[in-house]
Amino acid sequence: MKSVSRKILLINPNSSKSMTDGLDNLIKDLNLQGSTSTEIHTYTAPSGPPSINNEDDALESANVVLPDIESKLSEYDAFLVACYSVHPLVGMIQEKVAPHVHVTGIFEASISTSLSLIPMVKGEKVRSKFGIVSTGSYWEKALSDGVKEFLEVDDLKSCKRFKGVETTGLSAGELHTAPAEEVRRKMMEATKRLVRDKDVKVICLGCAGMAGLDKIVRDALDEELGEDSKHVHILDGVKAGIGLLESLLRALPPRA
């Protein structure tokens, strides 16, 4: 009996087509590797902010996207919002679809995956934390607050799993429009600040626009940690989101 292909809609909630092109290239690579089990379609917001740089941008983009895709919600088995923030579109879609249709954002998916990668053993030399490298300085507090809300902790200082957020000072759009050497330098500096205490096990790429930039992060790890860099995972939120949704579709498939 032939299995039914499940469909995921990967949503770029900003209006930058170049960012969606990057997501398309990522999906092509995953397909070539044979590491996806679903049919993945991409979507770009028809208008609204070209780069989501704060909560107001996120809300504006959600109010553009939801009416545009509402008539198509029944065509997909799962939805992934490709904005590294506590994006309101995730909850908006969840309220519109059936309980067996899975919805997440790349922020939430990366935290869930990071926690599964952190070892349960304890000790002074055990890497026990995840951290985030993101874009503009606004996201340092915004993403830290998001982690606190997701983990339901009152004070992140008491959270032994979260290292923090380091930012590049670049917007999501500038990751692909600024001079390549500037992007590389700022990405490497942020990465080195995050791992200098040698307690980070997972680095989350805190922007969908960072797809394909993990090589820069790896180079920074090699320079800062040397041989020990091999113990640190670099987690792309889009890949984490696709993997999480595919796992949920297998464990909790859509009802007939």
Q: Are strands 233-236 and 162-167 parallel, antiparallel or unpaired?
A: unpaired
Of 117, 123, 113, 128, the closest CA to residue 162 belongs to 128
pTM as predicted = 0.94
Phi first, then psi, for residue 3 (nearest 5°) are -75, 150
The 10 Å Cβ neighbour count of residue 215 is 11
pLDDT at residue 2, as a whole number: 44
* Per-residue DSSP letter, 2: P
Residue range 99-110: mean pLDDT, rounded: 96
* CATH of region 109-236, choose from 3.40.50.150, 3.30.470.20, 3.40.50.1860, 3.40.710.10: 3.40.50.1860
Q: What is the pLDDT of residues 46-63, one digit of tens each?
A: 999 999 999 999 999 999
As a whole number, mean pLDDT of residues 172-193 equals 93
7-107+239-251 in CATH: which number? Answer: 3.40.50.12500
Percentage, residues of the chain above pLDDT 70: 97
Task: Put residue 152 in one of left, alpha, beta given phi > 0 → left and psi -120 to 50 → alpha.
Answer: left
Extents of the domains making up the chain: 7-107+239-251, 109-236
Could you report the per-residue pLDDT of 59-96, keeping only the tens digit for each?
Answer: 999 999 999 999 999 999 999 999 999 999 999 999 99
H-helix or E-strand spanning residue 69: helix 55-69
| 248 φ/ψ angles, rounded to the nearest 5 degrees | -65, -35
Q: Is 173 helix (H, G, I), strand (E, B) or coil?
A: coil
Tens-place pLDDT, residues 229-243: 999 999 999 999 999
